[in-house]
Amino acid sequence: LSMENVDLDQIGAKINSIRQDPTMYTFQKNPETREKQLKLWMHIIYYHCFMNHIYSVTVADLQSSGITHHPDKQSNRCLKHDDLQKVLEFMKYQEYALSDDDLIYMIC
- Neighbouring residues of 46: CB distance < 8 A, sequence distance ≥ 6: 91, 96, 107
Q: Locate the domains of the chain by residue range.
A: 8-107
Show Cβ contacts of residue 61 under 8 Å, excluding neighbours closer than 6 positions.
54
Taking a C-beta distance cutoff of 8 angstroms, is the pair 68, 52 a contact? no
pLDDT tens per residue across span 45-69: 999 999 999 999 999 999 999 999 9
Report whether pLDDT(23) > 80: yes
Give whole-number Cα distances, 12 to 18, 83, 91, 102, 104, in Å: 10, 22, 19, 27, 25
What would the CATH number be for the domain defined by 8-107? Answer: 1.10.10.570
What mean pLDDT comes out for the span 69-94?
A: 94
